[in-house]
Structure 1
Amino acid sequence: MANAHLIVFANEKGGSGKSTTAVHTAVALASAGRRVAALDLDHRQRTFGRYLDNRALTVKKTGVELPTPAHETLDPAKHDVAERIAHWRDQVDVIIVDTPGRDDAQARAAVERADTLVTPINDSFVDLDLIGQVDPETYRIRRPSFYAEIVWDARKVRAKADGGTVDWVVLRNRLQHIEARNMKRVAAALGELSKRVGFRVIPGLSERVIFRELFPKGLTLLDLKAIGQEAGLAHVAARQELREMISGLALPDWLKGKAPMLQTAGLDIAGAPVAA
């Protein structure tokens, strides 16, 4: 493929599990034999970048080969996101971008170029308010919020630039295992809003202790067998959630299929961070 598929994880509200889902998506695609580049646009927090740095160190310490995306963290004072995306476009199959949890010019530039835009939200009206305001009496959507307008503007920029479209996916993270009244109301409001502003809703990942435990070593749910850790029932359930999440993204078939790992000049599949 001459042009990589660009997946951008973006949400101006922190704590939605954005970086965790971005890492798991990147590693899942790398595990499927795809060449993946990961760009962290949050040069201050660096959660996405540090996760993959930790992964590279684990590979080095253990000698266990783990599929690892090439990755770099972009400082807006030194890098231009459009240029870095263009740099990777013909080197890899997919580019994963994790954006800061705030309004940011670099993040907007990434969204304007996205093929798939993923907005993770916690399953609550607090997070839903980012994209749509809810009536406190009826729990019906009153109007789209500012972030929906940002995405609308980005879609217009993309269409004008190359005629392309941005597939907007709202990812419901931290779903409760027991369906509650609030969960039903959030689902109904999201369904109504999705028809008005044009996004798809898919289930994401539940709140699990294992995600916090995996970060220091840069591991994902897909790595437990490789490192000799036996998966419990909770881990099996979490992996199933991950499979359903990747399936829900509805990525092009050529991205999801199993294929031999391809090596590209300048692309460090082994996991070392790529110099800017």
Structure 2
Amino acid sequence: MAAHLIVLGNEKGGTGKSTTAVHVAVALAHAGFKVGALDLDGRQRTFARYIENRSAFAAKRGLELPTPETVVITDETPDLDRERLIAQVGAFARSKDAIVIDTPGRDSVLGRTAMGIADTLVTPLNDSFVDFDLIGQVDPDTYKVKRPSFYAELVWDARKARAKVDGGSVDWVVLRNRLSSLEARNRKRVGGALDELSKRIGFRVVPGLSERVIYRELFPKGLTLLDTAVIDEVSMSHVAARAELRELIGSLNLPMWDAAAQASA
């Protein structure tokens, strides 16, 4: 496919997956790329609602905001919906530079299918051992990694299947979302476990989005930290969050983002 496929995957809710997905998609659109987006959670529709709010706000203000073309695919009839997913990805691949897929926060046929065709798989985790347990189990006394968990095994199987099908590879990126300056001991222990596990099963660890109220406040208007030109009051928190977002996008090592950075240098 010509389009680069970015999948946000995590079977645990509350990790900032949809918020991250929206910001990645809008950041690429702001950079001038044609972006298609798929929301595979037909019940919650968090990504789709964010984009609907964005379109409504733009229409009300008479604005033209860079916005990804978004399609919702339900997961009520697995076989049919899998076919719809593959067909929509194929359609986007012919007209888009990038495709961003937000998967449900639970195990699903659609989520597994998307994982298996990803070029970049992004797994946001809150910085705690509760979330770490999704990808690895640790010894309660030493905090050393004992074994990979079920989701890591799913990713491993998906990567092997992808290599057999087309020889492609999946760049797996784990985001440490909601990093706190407090609880330094917990932060260090989680970081150590992530580094240890990453060497065993092959993922990259990058800083994600911090715990900032601004991310939740922007949802009703569908705005992101890159839309400061239309945000009524811009604070230092906005500026810091925008820099944080740019660092996150850059750390994903997306081929089109690297090209855009070189062109603007």
TM-score (norm 2): 0.94
1:124 to 119, 124, 128: 128
1:203 counterpart letter in structure 2: P
2:63 is aligned to 64
2:260 counterpart letter in structure 1: G
SS at 2:172 equivalent: strand
Corresponding position: 1:150 with 2:157: no
1:252 is aligned to 255
**Aligned 8 A contact 2:250 2:257 in 1:** no
SS at 2:200 equivalent: helix
Instruction: Tell me, in whole angstroms, the C-alpha distance in 2 between the residues paired with 1:179 and 1:103.
Output: 31
Deviations 1:156-187 (A, max 9, x none): 11101100000000000000124610000000
Deviations 1:10-64 (A, max 9, x none): 0000000000000000000000000000100000000001100111111111111
Corresponding position: 1:40 with 2:44: no
Stretches of structure 1 that go unaligned for 5 or more consecutive residues are 260-276
SS at 2:241 equivalent: helix
1:5 is aligned to 4
1:235 Cα deviation from its structure 2 partner: 0.9
1:137 is aligned to 141
1:229 Cα deviation from its structure 2 partner: 2.4
2:228 is aligned to 224
1:111 is aligned to 115
SS at 1:117 equivalent: strand
Instruction: Tell me, in whole angstroms, the C-alpha distance in 2 between the residues paired with 1:210 and 1:120.
Output: 18
**Aligned 8 A contact 2:6 2:101 in 1:** yes
1:27 is aligned to 26
Instruction: Tell me, in whole angstroms, the C-alpha distance in 1 between the residues paired with 2:250 and 2:182.
Output: 23
1:69 counterpart letter in structure 2: P
1:163 is aligned to 167
Corresponding position: 1:193 with 2:192: no
Corresponding position: 1:211 with 2:215: yes
**Aligned 8 A contact 1:40 1:74 in 2:** yes
Deviations 1:199-244 (A, max 9, x none): 000000011111111001111011122x152421111111111011
TM-score (norm 1): 0.90
**Aligned 8 A contact 2:50 2:220 in 1:** yes
1:71 counterpart letter in structure 2: T
1:196 Cα deviation from its structure 2 partner: 0.4
**Aligned 8 A contact 1:8 1:118 in 2:** yes
1:231 counterpart letter in structure 2: V
Aligned residues between the structures: 258
Corresponding position: 1:182 with 2:181: no
Instruction: Tell me, in whole angstroms, the C-alpha distance in 2 between the residues paired with 1:184 and 1:39.
Output: 35
- Following TM superposition, where does structure 1 have runs of at least 4 consecutive aligned residues deviating by more than 6 angstroms? none
2:244 counterpart letter in structure 1: E
1:51 is aligned to 50
1:263 is aligned to none
Instruction: Tell me, in whole angstroms, the C-alpha distance in 2 between the residues paired with 1:31 and 1:255.
Output: 15
Deviations 1:240-264 (A, max 9, x none): 11011001101114665179xxxxx
Q: Which has the higher contact order (CA 8 A, sep 6+)?
A: 1
Map 1:92-111 → 2, pairs under 5 A: 92-111=96-115
Percent identity between matched residues is 63
Residues 95/206 of structure 1: CA separation in 2 closer, same or farther (3 Å cut): same
1:194 Cα deviation from its structure 2 partner: 0.2
**Aligned 8 A contact 1:29 1:256 in 2:** no
